[in-house]
Amino acid sequence: MANLTVLGAGAWGSAVANLASDNGHEVSVWSRSSSLNLESVLIEADVVVSAVSMKGVVETVERIKRIKLNANAIIVTATKGLDPVTTCTPSRIWRDAFPERSIVVLSGPNLSQEIVQGLPTATVAASLDLEAAKRIQDIYNSETFRVYINSDPLGTELGGTLKNVFAIAAGVCDGLHLGTNAKSALLTRALPEMIRVGVRLGAQVETFYGLSGLGDLLATCNSALSRNYRVGYGLAQGKSLEQVLQELKSTAEGVNTTNVLIDLAKKQGIEVPVSTQVYRLINGIITPEQAVAALMERTVKPEKSS
Query: Cα 42 to chain center, whole Å?
Result: 24
How many C-beta atoms lie closer than 10 Å to residue 163's C-beta? 32
How many C-beta atoms lie closer than 10 Å to residue 35's C-beta? 6
**Environment class of 57 (CB within 10 Å of its CB; exposed 0-12, middle 13-18, buried 19+):** buried
| Phi–psi pair at 106, nearest 5 degrees | -115, 115
Give one DSSP letter per residue of 235-268, joined into a string: HHTT--HHHHHHHHTS--HHHHHHHHHHHHHHHH
Catalytic one of 55, 65, 68, 163: 163
163 is catalytic: yes
Bridge partners of 146? 122
In a 13 Å sphere around the CA of 284, the CA atoms on its Cβ side amount to 4
DSSP code, position 85: T
Report CA-CA distances (Å) from 244 to 52, 149, 251, 260.
21, 36, 11, 20
Report CA-CA distances (Å) from 152 to 38, 52, 123, 161, 199.
30, 22, 14, 14, 11
| Phi–psi pair at 183, nearest 5 degrees | -70, -40
Report CA-CA distances (Å) from 15 to 112, 115, 146, 193, 220.
6, 7, 14, 30, 17
Catalytic sites, residue numbers: 163
